[in-house]
Chain A
Amino acid sequence: AQTVTQSQPEMSVQEAETVTLSCTYDTSESDYYLFWYKQPPSRQMILVIRQEAYKQQNATENRFSVNFQKAAKSFSLKISDSQLGDAAMYFCASALDSGAGSYQLTFGKGTKLSVIP
């Protein structure tokens, strides 16, 4: 079984500043994947960034980067140069093969990010 914990229900950041969202997870598997999803007010789930557990290098996508600490089971998301459009709910998720190649996602409870103009 997997669990994903996001300990920050809400965060805020000034526009153009940097913010870090925390996530920890628990799994006994060695092969798994980690994701950050964004859910804006439209409620469409949007993939922000993904990390393969077997890769030591932290994933980066433009202004978004992660700090993946496998031993600590930590997977934080850093948003640089925050923009108003970054305001949303952010969900951390983990996935492992639940059988027949069906990677089932387990979500954290989410962090609501507000961006202050």
Chain B
Amino acid sequence: GAVVSQHPSRVICKSGTSVKIECRSLDFQATTMFWYRQFPKQSLMLMATSNEGSKATYEQGVEKDKFLINHASLTLSTLTVTSAHPEDSSFYICSARALMNTEAFFGQGTRLTVV
């Protein structure tokens, strides 16, 4: 299957700072990327959907000014958690899909801890 690389795998940051998470499709063009958040022992919650070159579509309840998503190229999407607070600590996962392909490939996830 296709490979999606997510970086970093773990990050600890101080409260009030911003953190950027990268999601790269290594061997295919990802026209659509999805960002999820997963709390311990819970399912994946979709945060936003981004199509290359367009603004991301955020799910209800997700603050777009806090979770900045950029999908400037067909192989890279970034999620920036701005002014992070301890309640933003979570596991963030990206997935990527090629045009008209129904299968999504997932990154390894990023564990964010805000102290």
Do A and B truly interact? yes
Residue of B nearest to A91 (CB): B43
Q: Which of B57-107 contact A (CB under 8 A)?
A: 91, 93, 95, 97, 99-104, 106
Question: B43 is contacted by which of A42, A44, A46, A110 (Cβ under 8 Å)?
Answer: A110
- Is the CB–CB distance between A107 and B43 below 8 Å? yes
Chain A residues lying within 8 Å of B32, measured Cβ to Cβ, are: 100-103
B25 CB within 8 Å of chain A: no
Number of interface residues of B (CB under 8 A): 24
A-B contact count (CB 8 A): 56
Chain B residues lying within 8 Å of A115, measured Cβ to Cβ, are: none
A2 to B70, CA, bound (A): 27
Q: How large is the interface on A (under 10, 10 to 19, 20 to 34, 35 or more residues)?
A: 20 to 34
A103 to B99, CA, bound (A): 9
Q: A91-B43, A105-B95, A108-B43 are in contact. List 14 more A-B contacts (CB 8 A).
A: A33-B102, A43-B38, A43-B109, A50-B102, A98-B49, A101-B99, A102-B49, A102-B51, A103-B97, A105-B34, A105-B104, A107-B43, A109-B43, A110-B42
